[in-house]
Amino acid sequence: ARSVRLSDWQMVLPRKTKLVHVIRHGEAQHNVCDAFLRRRDTHLTPRGRRQARALKQVIRQVKPEIAVTSDVLRALQTTQLMGFIGPVIVAPHAREAGGWPANEPIDASRAVSGDLKHQFGGYEWSRVLQESERGLRDKQNQCKQIPTADAEAVITAEVTGPAPTIKWEPRRVIKLRAQKLAQFLEARAESSIVLVSHGEFLERMTGDTYMDNCEVRSYKLLRGKWLRVQLHKR
């Protein structure tokens, strides 16, 4: 699918419509070399950075009131470069479909108080931190149920065992994430929202075709249904 230059189009919509302007992140290292799929925190390529900066014109056209982004590095970098000035919420539900290490989120502590604070520390990270706390509690509770001898064996295996196999995120879990994200967006007071996320996840969430890097699509979001906006040429 080809990106639509919104400067060439006019959107005809009823007033008070909830609009979500969906953006797939810019080109990243794993998009041009499959070997990077097995690495965490893949960066935007120089081309991907140019793609993200080119979004500034689109942002001026659609005038979003708030931005929501995945906590995967390439989405965060795209959000930073696209020229949006306003509140940015980091949403764990907007992550790419789980499996490859490249689709894992960054460690939130790096953005809140670490080496990435100067880039992303001004974003709203509360939802990610809450999820991390829940995950840590669940893991601790699971560990408490393992006998001491077995726990020692698990630790040894983690240190000396072979590289872990890829565990793909089940489709039902992706669907549930998509539903929760849609509910969150619909509950927001803003009528125009920009969402920066990922190809496979967006395809499954909207039911639309796979997006190009930094392609922009606008949807009317109503009761969990993603209705692509009809654009009328001037």
DSSP string, 12-32: ---TT--EEEEEEPPPBHHHH
132 closest CA partner among 71, 191, 184: 71
Distance CA 99, CA 97 (A): 7
pLDDT confidence tier of residue 133, bands split at 50, 70 and 90: confident
Question: Span 7-26, mean pLDDT?
Answer: 71
Please state whether beta strands 9-11 and 216-222 pair in parallel, antiparallel, or not at all (unpaired): unpaired
Dihedral angle over CA of 23, 122, 56, 16, nearest 10 = 60
Distance CA 109, CA 129 (A): 9
Of all residues in the chain, the percent with pLDDT exceeding 70 is: 78
pLDDT confidence tier of residue 118, bands split at 50, 70 and 90: very high
Q: Mean pLDDT over all residues of the chain?
A: 85
Residue 177 CB neighbour total at 10 angstroms: 21
Distance CA 234, CA 231 (A): 10
51 closest CA partner among 201, 211, 189: 211
pLDDT confidence tier of residue 79, bands split at 50, 70 and 90: very high
pLDDT confidence tier of residue 17, bands split at 50, 70 and 90: confident
Higher pLDDT pick, 68 / 6: 68
pLDDT at 142 over 50: no
